[in-house]
Structure 1
């Protein structure tokens, strides 16, 4: 949502009319945000040894009733040390913030509590901008999901399943859809841990999508198993 406000230039002391594309969600409660502003200022800040003229805004969320800060930078020339009245400011980040948690159904938590915990930790790292490490965490979550899924189906093979490699475990999966998702997620997960990235058009976001699709298919399987267990009367 584009907003226009009157704010103070911290260096000159003059009032300026500024347009900016407001943060779309509250970083604390994650509700849709209308851009309500309590105060603001134009001031320079340093990044990568360069001076940027930024817009600092104190926002207020009507849903959770908490204020938060957002920093916006010039859209046209983010490394300009001067200010133009025609500049549109875009979001750099907002603080404080809380990770938006992913709610899995209870059956997934029972099947693999370690998967749910590691996925949540990866999601938290992602929300804090730690995108160089969250892919490795999603890859670890994948391994727990695959092995716990197989352990439930093949309890008598527990020793082999826990000791074998992830790729070996993936080949055990009967469902071609779940197997394909797990295999591709593992490929991309390896890219997140190795120096050479082979699948340059994909990222940790695709691993995340594949994990959520795997969870959905596992949920469908459990629902079908529940239906199949109903006796004819």
Structure 2
């Protein structure tokens, strides 16, 4: 049982973070009287009721929920202008250029009751899927702006390691490096070591998800087998000289 008061923003955000899938942290930003949270409100990814509330009311305190695994951030404030409840909206990723958001539909936030359990259900069913779609679209735009991406990258097994040629696309090279690939100057290839096969498999799965968001496929190749040694010709049996009876 939670011993916190869900009607309090800090408590509500803490409980909500614990009810969302994955590992989330909750950081409360209190009211200090003259605190300006503009650096957060300007990144709220919303054109609906959350944006309207921010345009018509001053934010004195707020909370930011962050998913540890991928950096997804949610912004939680009181339902400004209303007697109770809260607003939960997504914050746009900080690493993408402004041009990457062109043509991307905002995920828009939710007005939720003070019950964090019902709020978590609504967030899981509605906000997080919309956010995932919007981020995937924005990342595809960012990749296209940075440089042309190939339709597919090929990963080749070499002993227990996976290797791939160094891509011409700098963003793609960075993405591979983020997922454990290291440049080997002797082979002029990127190598994902197989010392820990579980970590290697996890890296490949995560890389595949990111590449799919960018519209890039993954091909798995095995090195060509060496040619079989030339077999000696089979000597035909010598016909028997015995006459059939």
TM-score normalised according to structure 2 size: 0.28
Higher percent of residues as helix: 1
Greater RCO between the two (CA within 8 Å, min separation 6)? 2
Larger radius of gyration: 2
